[in-house]
Amino acid sequence: MVNCAGIASIGKAADTTPEEMDRIYGVNVKGIYHCIHFAIPKMIEGGGGAIVNMASMAAKVGIQERFAYSMSKGCGGVDDPVGG
């Protein structure tokens, strides 16, 4: 299973509303959780599988005018602790 969804918005920290942060995190962070939560029981039932969570270089270096996106993609590199 590959988690590769992501949405972004234009804005700096001071311009980003709590609602916009919730929208971005709802897809970029919670979307990862929802996919993993659904996939793990199916993988166990099927005898195994693999989960790949795609992040972004924005998680490491940030992108100007993409505050919420850059923050949320830092949460995407959660491969190590996922385990069933």
Residue 83 reports pLDDT greater than 70: no
Share above pLDDT 90 across residues of the chain, in percent, rounded to a whole number: 45
Strand partners for 11: 66
- Residue 24 is predicted with a pLDDT of 94
Average pLDDT, the chain: 85
User: pLDDT digits over 11-68, tens only?
Assistant: 999 999 999 999 999 999 899 889 999 999 999 999 999 988 887 887 777 788 888 8
Q: Which residue has the tokens 């992108």?
A: 63
φ, ψ (nearest 5 deg) of residue 52: -120, 120
- Residue 77 is predicted with a pLDDT of 57
Please state, as a whole number, how many other Cβ atoms lie within 10 Å of the Cβ of residue 26. 13
What are the catalytic residues? 69
Give the separation between CA 34 and CA 44, rounded to whole angstroms.
Answer: 16
